[in-house]
Structure 1
Amino acid sequence: MPSENPTIPVEVSSLAEYMAWKKATTPIPNGEGYALFYRGHADAAYVLEPTVYRIKEGKSFRTVEHELYEELMRLDPVAFSNDKSVFERLVRMQHYGLPTRLLDLTHSPLIALFFACCSHEETDGEVIFFHWKTEEVYQPSDVPDASLAGVRVSAEFSAIGRDIIDRLKSFFAEEAAFDYGHAGVNSDRNAFLHAAITELDKLAEGDFLIQSLAIKTIEEKLISGFINPWRDRLDIERKELGLTRAALAISESQTFLERFQNRFVDRRLAFIDSVCRQLKIENNSERNSLGRFLMQFTHFYFAYAPVNNERIRRQQGAFIICSPASTSLWKVENHKTPDKIRIKGAAKKAILAELADLGVTRSYVFPELPEQAAEAQRRYPAR
């Protein structure tokens, strides 16, 4: 875990101070077992949000994300012919300047520092530092389909949430018509169904994350608050009655209870399969909970970058794949709290000079020919 040493600085004015901060915040021992990611931005007020989701003058690219992807694929399919996945195509598209849901990271603290200093000289910059256990970071070929929902096909998650809620309400209303042959079971079941439908009614226009969490809670209450207690209670009642007609009636009530659970499981799987088909999700391992399945779309996914261009190689790139579903309640910082350091604006020029002595220059970070030409002009100005 990061050091909690209270002497860790909150701002730095030199490369030496910055490297001291880096050392103080690195997991012990020496980051072993951790994937260390940095991100630098020239304005410390920058919000960790990808370009496709950023709102400017009341507008964003979120609703046309799929169209942006398809248009670039249509205009130059050959450019992406070697890419093996949607994720790899998105990485290449971001390289070309297309707004995507990817947030750039780097394994290099020096590259992050460069980006924190390379512009806005009058404004304080910032470097943020994430540390994840290595096994929790996805390789490019293992990135979950759920993280890319809405790229291959348009997805309106608010509509998906409303549809699932309506389907659950219909299912619970249908279940109220069954007679389990046991007054206590019927009473508790009806109380559960009424409470669940009432809760779902409140969620119709709610935040997608709240909807997902509420559905997960309803599922848990169904099993732990109704089915399991009554399964145990009926078993005790049946054993106490022995070989009697009343015991046979209890067995029938137990059968009705099991069938209720089986119907719910079947309906849950049908809901999940329906959403997967709608979003073209081919690989989904989360099938034991509808709520957890939906919550996948509010997660942030850390992924290693496919090294498919020289810029990524030099920048030692990685990415956060930001959540497909919009939610105002869960940000990157909630998912994994980073360490942060402010870079004084007045020190940026001097820090860039120190980085240049180490070979970290703009032409190194951006190896494309236009940047090389610009670097040549900076090195040999007109006389």
Structure 2
Amino acid sequence: MVRISRPAHRVQSVSDFVEYVMDWTRSGQRPVAFRGERFKGWQTQPKVFRPDVAMYEHEKNAVRDLVSVHPQEFRDDETMFDRLVRMQHFELPTRLLDVTVNPLVALYFATADHKENGELQDGKVQALFLPEERQRYYDSDRVSCMANLANLTVDEKKEMARAYSLDQDDFNEEPVVKRLVWFVRIEKPHFEAKINPDHLKQPVFVKPKMSNRRIIAQSGAFLIYGARRLSSREVDTDLRLSRVLVPAEKKAAIRTQLERLGVHASSLFPEIDKAAGFIAKRYANDEG
């Protein structure tokens, strides 16, 4: 029997989107968070894992380089996760994926224009469904272990990938795992070396500190990824992404509606340069 999947809903307006979101469930569960992307064809993964970005092999050095040249920016960060959040803010590719708990924020990002082969493309808003055991706060031990994978060299990450198939006891005897524990203990001295390898392989939804204006403005949160990818034999049965499409021809009208509701560049990006750009564009487009 051929399985015919139902076409994704195509958003026509903000009110249409809100109506859809209010009933957006999967197996009785409501979304944990949302992510908006300007192009429906993009694969959902952190930038550091994307082949076109070519950063995975240099992740450790990139992290250290940024802290080295701007140490004052990171002086108040207590954990590697805190540093990754700040690096994400400054647009360094990391193993974090931005999401939001506000669906209108996700819709705003999905309404940005994008062209492929000279043609405007549809955007998408994805709803993220994960069970409670895959949801953590910023100070979770599991999050610390996943974040500190960024401190490993590419060869160490390859060693880690080979060790994932071991049982927990053997896994924790591996030298590369002991090195990971060393990094975790820098921020958590009493951390017990009993890492479950399965906990490093699958992404986790993280509720961060509301430590900067942009996270607050965007109702931001993150997915943190450990392993670069699951093997072809493994399927993440917990993680579910369901999407709606934002038609290219509807983007401008939807964005105008969002601006009337206070969802715009100046509110989502509270830095003064973003606010100035939004204000200049608004008046430039004002024919009155």
> 8 Å contact 1:130–1:337 — kept in the other structure?
yes
Q: Distance between the aligned counterparts of 2:39 and 2:221, measured in 1?
A: 21
Distance 1:40-1:330 versus aligned 2 partners, 3 A rule: farther
Matches within 5 A, 1:186-265: 208=161, 212-213=164-165, 215-216=166-167
AA matched with 1:95: H
Distance 1:330-1:284 versus aligned 2 partners, 3 A rule: farther
In the alignment, does 2:91 pair up with 1:93?
no
AA matched with 2:127: F
Q: Distance between the aligned counterparts of 2:260 and 2:27, measured in 1?
A: 29
Helix, strand or coil for the counterpart of 1:320? strand
Deviations, residues 321-374 of structure 1 (Å, cap 9, x unaligned): 112344453899754012211111110011001111100011111111111111
Distance 1:28-1:46 versus aligned 2 partners, 3 A rule: closer
Deviations, residues 59-86 of structure 1 (Å, cap 9, x unaligned): 6100110101111111111111111110
Q: Distance between the aligned counterparts of 2:234 and 2:251, measured in 1?
A: 28
Distance 1:318-1:336 versus aligned 2 partners, 3 A rule: same
In the alignment, does 2:128 pair up with 1:130?
yes
Match of 2:51 in 1: 55
Distance 1:20-1:7 versus aligned 2 partners, 3 A rule: farther
Let me know the Cα RMSD of the aligned residues. Answer: 3.0
**Identity among equivalent pairs (%):** 25
AA matched with 1:271: E
> 8 Å contact 1:137–1:302 — kept in the other structure?
yes
Q: Distance between the aligned counterparts of 2:284 and 2:11, measured in 1?
A: 31
Q: Distance between the aligned counterparts of 1:362 and 1:27, measured in 2?
A: 31
Q: Distance between the aligned counterparts of 1:342 and 1:35, measured in 2?
A: 17
Deviations, residues 3-29 of structure 1 (Å, cap 9, x unaligned): xxx999622221122112211214799
> 8 Å contact 1:125–1:344 — kept in the other structure?
yes
In the alignment, does 2:33 pair up with 1:37?
yes
The structure whose Rg is larger is 1
> 8 Å contact 1:127–1:340 — kept in the other structure?
yes
> 8 Å contact 2:110–2:123 — kept in the other structure?
yes
In the alignment, does 2:173 pair up with 1:271?
yes
Range with greater deviation from structure 2 (77-86 or 19-28):
19-28
Distance 1:269-1:118 versus aligned 2 partners, 3 A rule: closer
Q: Distance between the aligned counterparts of 1:143 and 1:45, measured in 2?
A: 34
Q: Distance between the aligned counterparts of 1:11 and 1:296, measured in 2?
A: 36
Match of 1:117 in 2: 111
Give the total of aligned pairs: 270
Unaligned stretches of 5+ residues in structure 2: 186-190
Helix, strand or coil for the counterpart of 2:54? coil
Matches within 5 A, 1:1-383: 10-26=9-25, 36-56=32-52, 60-120=54-114, 122-134=120-132, 136-144=134-142, 145-157=144-156, 159-160=158-159, 208=161, 212-213=164-165, 215-216=166-167, 268=170, 271-272=173-174, 274-279=175-180, 280-282=183-185, 283=191, 286=194, 293-329=196-232, 335-381=238-284
Would you tell me which structure has more helix in proportion to its own residues?
A: 1
Q: Distance between the aligned counterparts of 1:298 and 1:11, measured in 2?
A: 33
Deviation at 1:298, TM superposition (A): 1.5
> 8 Å contact 1:38–1:130 — kept in the other structure?
yes
Unaligned stretches of 5+ residues in structure 1: 1-5, 162-207, 220-264, 288-292
Distance 1:353-1:143 versus aligned 2 partners, 3 A rule: farther
Helix, strand or coil for the counterpart of 2:266? helix
Report the TM-score, using the length of structure 2 for normalisation. Answer: 0.82
Q: Distance between the aligned counterparts of 1:102 and 1:18, measured in 2?
A: 26
Q: Distance between the aligned counterparts of 2:240 and 2:225, measured in 1?
A: 15
Helix, strand or coil for the counterpart of 1:364? helix
Distance 1:27-1:45 versus aligned 2 partners, 3 A rule: closer
> 8 Å contact 1:105–1:319 — kept in the other structure?
yes
Helix, strand or coil for the counterpart of 2:197? helix
Q: Distance between the aligned counterparts of 2:107 and 2:177, measured in 1?
A: 41
